[in-house]
Amino acid sequence: MEERLADHTAEVASPQTKDGPPDGPPRGPADGAPGGPPSGELAIWTRNFRYYFTARSAGLLSWAMLPVAVAAGLLKGGYGLDAAGYSMAFLVAPFAGLVLFGGVLADRFTARRMMIIADLANLTAHILLALLFIHGIDHLWQLYALLVVAGTANALFQPGASSTVPLVSRDVQGANGVLRTSEAITGLGGPALAGTLVGFGSTGWVMVISAVAYGTSAICLFVLRLGAVPAPPAGESLWRNLVVGWQEFRSRSWLWGVILIWMFYAVLSWGPQLSVAAGVIVPEHGASAFGLINAALGAGTIAGGLVAIRYKPQRPLAAGAVAMMAYPLYPLGIVLGWPVWALAAAQVAVGIGIGVWGVMWATSVQTQVPGEVLNRVHAYEVAGSVGMYPIGSALAGPAVGAFGTDEVLMVGVVVSFLTATALLVARPIRTLRRVPDRA
């Protein structure tokens, strides 16, 4: 299939653009222009990127705290595991189901508008969640309804979170490396902070902190100095926008090829691994050891993000696939009965691989896909890859019961190795070349 690779070293032309300072920049601002770095400033840390980094980090921290705070708060309040499980379903299901429409709306009304709306919705939902936990939950449906609002808001936010990166930094890969590092740090610190506050009986205050974070994010996004962004042709229906997004997605064999490979990986390796690993490590070594091992994964991801800020190979997806070769180490170590320190070391290596791959992948999508369809294409990407994870997670228990723990982990070892191999064997993926940074 013919590849349609947009060269983002130049301006991305579009049949129509949204005009005015509120909504998005040209792709390559000159030195000293609004949104561009003054002479001598690092290409990553432009004024716009500093505000965007603050907004994104605040949102990531809140999102990382929410599941732990809700689940722990419910259990501490006397509710059972079923209530905690349902709460996560009401949070995740709207995100998975609506992210495609979030991409369409972001392209129609600009990503920044949709992200600000999403932040304000999350701000409202978390204020109400704070009141709910402080005064006591009388009816679980109230909690579930607010979690649906939060999940929907994140479905509106996510497509624009990726497409905004090329608009706020000349060094797209470096910016993605910084954001990946922030994601790993907040992923480690958010649950720990939430668990500590809930332990002191302050579930409501977790929600207050999250509300403040979402308010901060909305303000930072509002003050971005952006110019005109590409937009779909006027008069097209939402359905037509969705169809065009699908056509753009499937026209790039490197793009849908990665997602197709990733779907098998998510169901057979990534999805089952957390719960199956916990079932082995916690009884043998304790919950604290399991926490240490997962903290090592976060540390490795931070290191991978930092490496990817500077490491800029000409074939980014091939380099990312090589880094993913480290993934089988952790499940293989569990099967072989490695000690905790060795499993932690394996998780550091896995985290580095995941961090490098994530930056290479995000940068490739953001720089190879035209701006007027990027939000929709990203939404299809998220739906196809992340959407399969819950299936793998749900199948973990039945698979262990039917085949055994070691067998399920070994399937994960083989599939993760074959995933990296398939990424390298597929020619459109292996040969995709890096788009140079804007001058």
Please write the tens of the pLDDT for every residue from 335-384: 999 999 999 999 999 999 999 999 999 999 999 988 778 888 888 888 78
pLDDT at 18 over 60: no
**What value, to the nearest 5°, has the Cα angle with vertex 282 and ends 278 and 284?**
125
CA–CA separation, 107 vs 371, rounded Å? 9
Angle at 398 between CA 393 and CA 404, to 5 degrees: 105
Q: How far apart are CA 288 and CA 121, in angstroms?
A: 36
Return the amino acid letter for 184.
A
The H or E element spanning position 409 is: helix 405-425
pLDDT band at 14 (very low <50, low <70, confident <90, very high): very low
Distance between CA atoms of residues 302 and 122, nearest Å: 27
Per DSSP, 18 falls in state: E
CB 305 within 8 A of CB 359: yes
Which amino acid does the sequence have at 69? A
Calculate helix-pair angle for 111-135, 47-76, nearest 10 degrees: 30
Superfamily, domain 252-430: MFS general substrate transporter like domains (1.20.1250.20)
How far out from the chain centre does Cα 116 lie? Answer: 18
Query: What are the residue ranges of CATH 1.20.1250.20 in the chain?
Result: 18-231, 252-430
Tens of pLDDT along 272-330? 887 788 888 888 888 778 878 888 888 999 999 999 998 999 999 999 999 999 999 99
In Å, the largest CA–CA distance within the chain is 63
Average pLDDT over the chain, rounded to an integer: 83
- Cβ count within 10 A of residue 58: 24
Q: What is the CATH number of domain 18-231?
A: 1.20.1250.20
Q: Which residues of 302-334 are buried (b: 16+ CB within 10 A; e: fewer)?
A: bbbbbbbbebbbebbbbbbbbbbbbbbbbbbbb
- Residue 17: pLDDT over 50: no
Residue 242 half-sphere exposure toward CB, CA atoms < 13 A: 8
Q: What's the gap between Cα 398 and its chain centre?
A: 28
Among 71-80, 102-111, 147-156, 255-264, the least confident range:
71-80
Q: How confident is the model at residue 39 (pLDDT cuts 50, 70, 90)?
A: very low
Q: How confident is the model at residue 12 (pLDDT cuts 50, 70, 90)?
A: very low
pLDDT computed for residue 370 by the predictor: 86
**Among residues of the chain, what percentage have pLDDT more than 90?**
44
* pLDDT of the residue at 89: 76
Q: From 108, 370, 372, select the one nearest 239 (Cα to Cα).
A: 108
Among the ranges 58-72, 104-118, 213-227, which has the highest mean pLDDT value? Answer: 213-227
Q: How confident is the model at residue 4 (pLDDT cuts 50, 70, 90)?
A: very low
Cα-atom radius of gyration of the chain, to the nearest Å?
A: 21
Mean pLDDT to the nearest integer, 119-132: 95
pLDDT class for 65, splitting at 50, 70, 90? confident
